[in-house]
Amino acid sequence: MSHSPQKAKFSPIDHSGASYFFKGFSLIKQKGIRRFVFIPLVINALLFSIAFYFVYLELSTYMESIMSWLPSWLDWLSVILWPLAVLTILVIFSFIFSTVANWLAAPFNGLLSEKMEAILSGNEAPKGSMVDIVKDIPRTLSREWQKLAYYLPRAIGFFIIMWLLPVVGQVIWFLFIAWMMAIQYKDYPFDNHKIPFATMKQMLKQNQGISYSFGITVALFSMIPIINLVVMPVAICGATAIWVDHYKDRT
């Protein structure tokens, strides 16, 4: 006797995107999605190990180079510049790390979002075979290119502002990264439903509060070593829950 899938018992979260991110920690434990979580985790672990080693080697050299440009009477600025440099590099590193990891794991991420949506909606979950993953590669990579094309020109502009306006520039840069984090992860369910990238951006702008609070939380956790290894699957599950609660019925 066949049984229809039971809808997962998760109450809608109405207050903030941050709450959806934290909900993602419990969602990744759902039966049937663990293999889609495991593969991105392995990719993240390998990339993080390589990237962290590179950043560790280069940070001291980078700061020594900056301090050598300053006259001796401005040596006291090192107290301010070091924390700013570390924070800036952490933000940049976390986003570059997330971007590369998302490119490599994009087909798996799409299937994870699709599987999570089925669980949250009480629908039949897709099988998610390796054949399905291979078939999705051209479409998912095309979507990642669209995100990159959106990101690069804006990143250049905000990066210049960041260095021209100390402190204020760093805040502006961080908010931009938070917005990009929201786009990166909330786009997976939109893409699964073949919703154009431009339409997705407009829908996110209509509810910027939840997008920014979600993106800020993702960006902050992406800067924490070890924990950032699980950010990708957690953010995908949380973003998919946002889709189910706030966007699905509007498309």
Distance from the first to the final alpha carbon of the chain:
34
How many Cα neighbours within 13 Å face the side chain of 236?
Answer: 30
Instruction: Tell which residue, 198, 201, 176, 196, has the closest CA to residue 186.
Output: 201
How many Cα neighbours within 13 Å face the side chain of 168?
Answer: 3
pTM: 0.76
Question: What are the pLDDT tens digits along the chain (251 aa)?
Answer: 444 444 444 444 456 889 999 999 999 988 878 777 887 778 777 777 777 777 767 766 766 676 677 667 666 666 676 677 777 676 666 667 667 777 777 778 888 999 999 999 887 666 655 566 677 778 888 898 999 899 999 999 998 988 888 778 888 989 999 999 999 999 999 999 999 999 999 999 998 999 999 999 999 998 787 787 888 899 999 999 999 999 988 76
Question: Residues 6 or more apart from 25 whose CB is under 8 A from it?
Answer: 230, 234
Q: Where are the alpha helices (DSSP H) in the chain?
A: 17-27, 34-69, 78-121, 130-164, 168-192, 197-205, 208-222, 231-242
